[in-house]
Structure 1
C-alpha cells in the first residue's frame, strides 16, 4: 500500500489465506486468542442489578449503542451474555457481512445481554481487544467466514468452529497496540470523509425533493395568483389549477396476467421497475407465483400502489407493460395516460404521503392499508396539460443534475470504504509496517522499530504445530 513500507523480513505462513507474514509474528488459531461465547460469570448475587441490553440493530461497525437497560433476571435466559472488554460480532447475514462489530465498553455494572445472533469473543492474555476488533474485519477472514455460512435465506450464520479454527498471524502485545492505535487514527479520518459525503448526499436529496414538492404543488411561476384549494394538505395552489379527486382521473383495473410478461416490482424508493428484477437487483426478497395468470396485468401509464406501503412510498407510474402482485391496486387513467408520472411525483411529497396515511385503515403503522375506495377520494391539484409538461421537463433537468452529484458522492463513499477495508487488512496481516508511525501532529517521531517487550506471553514463542 503506497505510503507505507513492508516489514524487513517475512516468512511463509504455510496458510493459504495468509501467505507470507512478518518473520517475528506467530501463527495462532483464534480459539487460542479468545473464548467464543464464554459462559456467564457468577453474578447470581446481583441478579436484581441492572445491565445493558443490546438488540442487533444497535450493534454497528465500531459502535455499540447503550441506551437500554434491563434487570439481569429478565434477560439471563435466552440472550447473549457479555462483559466490558469483550468483542461483539454479528453472526447472521447480512449483519456479519456489514461488519457489525464493536468492543463492549461502558456497560451498566460491566455486564450486558443482547441478541442471540451476536457472537462474543473474550480476549485472553495473548491478544488486545483493540487489535482483535480490527483483525476480525480483515477481508480474507470475512470472505472465508461468509463462504462457510450455513442456513437458508436471511438466517445464514457462521459456524463457531470456523471462527475458532481460523488461523491468523499476530505480533506481540505492544505491536498489537501500535497497530490498533494506527488504525484508530486512520479509520477515523476516513470515516469522517465518508460521513461528510453521506451528509452531502442527504442534502442533495432533500434539495431535490424540495424542488419537486414546490413545483408540483405551487408551479414554476412565483408571480401567479393563488387560491385556497379547500384541501388542508394542499393549502394554496395557483388560481388556474383544478382541484380533483383521484377517482375522477382513475378507475380501478384488475386485468388477468398473461404468460411472457415481466413481473414488475413496486419499491418505496424507486417506484415501479421497468423490467423483471433478479434476486441480486431487488432491494428485498422476491417470492414469485409460478402461474403468471394470477398476477395483475398493468399497462404503460397505469398507477400502481402497494396497499400496505403506499403511505411509505410504495407506488409508482408504470413505464412498460407487465405484471404486478395480485395484492396491489392498479389505477388506470380514464383519459390521459401521461398523467401518472406527474401524479407519482405529487404523491411522493411529504404532505401527500401523510394524507395517504390518514386515509389508510389499520391498528398500527405496519398494518395500515390504503384501499381503492379511500384512495379515490384523495384530492389533488392539477395544472393544465401544457404547464404540467413544462413542470416535468424542469424536474427532469433538476433531478438529473442532482443525481449526477449524488452518484459522484456515492462513488467516493464506495472508494473510501474500499480504502478503509484495504488499510485494515494490510495492517493486521503485516503487509505494512506501522511500528514507526506517529500521528502527523506529534512533536516527535519514533525512528526505531518498536521492540518486542520482555513480558510478551508464551503464545508468541511457540511453533504453529504447538498451537494446533
Structure 2
C-alpha cells in the first residue's frame, strides 16, 4: 500500500529518527515526561504490567489471584494515560496504563508534563520497534547488563507532531492495526483447524487403519475404542524396557558428548540427528543412558500436566549420547514388532494426551512415573500395515504441514508490515491523513 509523504522534511539530528516532517519538533524525554513515584495507596486495585496488553488489572489476565510478596505500601500508584517501564528489562518498550491502580516498585511510572502530548500517539511510539531498538542500542550500552535509571532514559529524544497530527496518526494506527490483527487471527484460526485436521487423520489411521471395510472389534480400552479385528493390544511393559535419564550437577553440562535434552523431545516428533547440548558423560554413562535407533523418549516432568508424555522417536543411533533426567526412554524389544515409523505417529496422536492427563498426579511438579508409562496401551497392526500407515501419514500430514507453513509465512509478512507501518507513521515517514 502506498502512502503520501509530507511536503518537506528536516534532519532531526537523532540517528534513530533520521529525517522528520519539517513542522515536527524533537525534544528530550525529560522535558515531556516526569518520573512519578506515589506510594501508600495499598487499597487501590492491583495491576499487572504486560507486554501485549499494557498495564491492566490483574483480574483481567490471571485466573487465580496470588498476592505479591513485599509491602503493598511500597507499590507505585499509576493512572490511566501514564506509562510504565521496567528499568531492568525493557525489550517490550513502555507500557500504556489503561486503569488506575498500583504496580510493583520495580517499575518506573512516567506522567506527561504538557497537555499537547496525546496518549494515543505515544502509546504507539513507545511500543514501536524503532523506538525499542533505540533503547537497546543507546541505553543498554551505558552500563553492563540492562539495569538503567530514568536519569539515563530521560535524555532520549522524542518526536513531537502537533496535537492534530498525533490524533490522526493514532486513529489511523488503531484502524490499520485492528484490521491486521483480525487478518492474523483468521490465519491463526486456519492453522488451528489444519492442526486439528492433522490430528484427526493421525488418530484415525493409527487406531482404525486404512481399510474402511475391515471388520472391527472393541479394543477393551475406553480412550481407544474400536480397532481392526486382526490388530493386537499390549501394555508397554510387555514390549520393551523403560529407563529414566541421567541427573547431574551443572558442571556436568556444556562440553563433551551429545546430550539429548527435554527440548529436543518436546519440540520434535523425530529426534534431531544432531543435538545441540553437550555433557561430560563417561563410558559407563553412555552405556546406561544410550540413544539408539528405535528408542522412544517421553517427557517426564514439567510444571503442567499438559507438557507431560510428549514423545520423540530416534530414527538413527546417536553415538556416545546420553539423555536428560527429565525424560524416560522406552526401548522396544526386537520381538515386539513395533516399527519406529509407526511409533512416530502413534505416540504423538491426540489420544495420548487423554491417557496422560487423566492418569497424571500433580504435586509441586507434574511427573510421569515408569509404572504409569508401563501401563500405557499400544496398538500393534501387522508390520506391513505399520509401514503402509506411516507412508500414508507422511504424505497426508506433509501436505497439511505445507499448508500450515504457508499460513505461518503469511502471518509473518502481516506482522512485518504492521511493524513497518507503525514505525513509518510515528516517525513521519508517511503522511496518514
> How far apart, in 2, do the equivalents of 1:10 and 1:255 lie?
63
1:173 corresponding residue in structure 2: 163
What are the residue-to-residue correspondences of 1:143-222 with 2, within 5 Å? 143-147=133-137, 148-149=139-140, 160-222=150-212
- Distance in 2 of aligned mates of 1:368 and 1:192: 36
Determine the C-alpha separation between the residues in 2 that align with 1:341 and 1:88.
52
* 2:69 is equivalent to residue 76 of structure 1: no
Shift of 1:329: 1.9
1:447 corresponds in structure 2 to none
Match of 2:314 among 305, 314, 318: 318
Q: What corresponds to 1:35 in structure 2?
A: 34
What is the alpha-carbon distance in structure 1 between the residues aligned to residue 104 and residue 323 of structure 2? 34
TM-fit CA distance, 1:302: 0.6
Shift of 1:221: 2.4
Q: Note if 1:113 corresponds to 2:102.
A: yes
Deviation at 1:341, TM superposition (A): 3.7
1:121-176 deviations in Å (ceiling 9; x for gaps): 3233241111111111233321132344489xxx9566544532211222122211
Match of 1:243 among 233, 236, 261: 233
Structure 1: which 5+ runs fail to align?
Answer: 279-285, 438-468
Which residue matches 2:96? 103
| Rounded Cα–Cα distance in structure 2 between residues aligned with 1:115 and 1:340 | 51
CA RMSD, 1 decimal: 3.5
3-state SS, counterpart of residue 230 of structure 2: coil
Count how many residue pairs are aligned between Structure 1 and Structure 2. 407
Alignment CA distance shift 1:166-1:413 (3 Å): same
Counterpart secondary structure, 1:348 = coil
CA distance, structure 1, for counterparts of residue 413 and residue 166 of structure 2: 27
Partner SS state of residue 213, structure 1: helix
| Alpha-carbon shift at residue 52 of structure 1 (Å) | 4.4
User: CA–CA distance in 2 between the matches of 1:356 and 1:10?
Assistant: 63
Of 213, 219, 230 in structure 1, the residue corresponding to residue 220 of structure 2 is 230
Q: TM-score, normalised by structure 1?
A: 0.76
Match for residue 5 of structure 2? 6
Deviation at 1:347, TM superposition (A): 2.7
Contact 1:220 1:391 in 2 (8 A): yes
Q: Show CA shifts across 1:388-444 (max 9, x none).
A: 11111111111111111111111111111111111111111111122xx2xxxxxxx
Show the counterpart of 1:352: 352
Asked if 1 retains the 8 angstrom alpha-carbon contact of 2:293 and 2:316, the reply is: yes
2:413 aligned partner? 415
1:85 pairs with one of 73, 81, 88: 81
2:16 corresponds to: 17
Give the deviation of 1:339 after TM superposition: 2.0
Q: Which region of structure 1 is more displaced relative to structure 2, 163-172 or 189-198? A: 163-172
Q: C-alpha displacement at 1:239, in angstroms?
A: 1.4
Shift of 1:337: 8.0
Equivalent-residue separation in structure 1 for 2:294 and 2:7 (angstroms)? 67
Instruction: Assess if the C-alpha contact under 8 Å between 2:78 and 2:102 holds in 1.
Output: yes
**Match of 1:281?**
none
Deviations 1:75-116 (A, max 9, x none): 7345454211123456665xx54x4765322x3xxx223456
Q: Name stretches of at least 5 consecutive residues in structure 2 with no aligned partner.
A: 247-251
Supply the distance in 2 between the matched residues of 1:406 and 1:65 (Cα, whole angstroms): 35
Distance in 1 between residues matched to 2:170 and 2:112, nearest whole Å: 15
- 1:359–1:102: structure 2 CA closer, same or farther, 3 Å change rule? same
Q: Could you say which residue in structure 1 is the equivalent of 2:301?
A: 308
Q: Residues 275, 72 of structure 1: CA spacing in aligned structure 2 closer, same or farther, 3 A cutoff? A: closer
The secondary structure found in structure 2 opposite 1:184 is helix
State the SS of the aligned residue for 1:297: coil
Contact map agreement 2:245 2:328 (CA 8 A) in 1: no
CA displacement at 1:255 relative to structure 2:
9.8
Which whole-Å CA distance do the structure 1 matches of 2:333 and 2:314 have between them? 15
TM-superposition CA deviations, 1:28-63 (whole Å, max 9, x none):
122322234x212675xxx54x51432x5x541568
- Output the TM-score relative to the length of structure 2: 0.82
Against the structure 1 CA distance between its residues 70 and 176, is the aligned structure 2 distance closer, same or farther, given a 3 Å change threshold?
Answer: farther
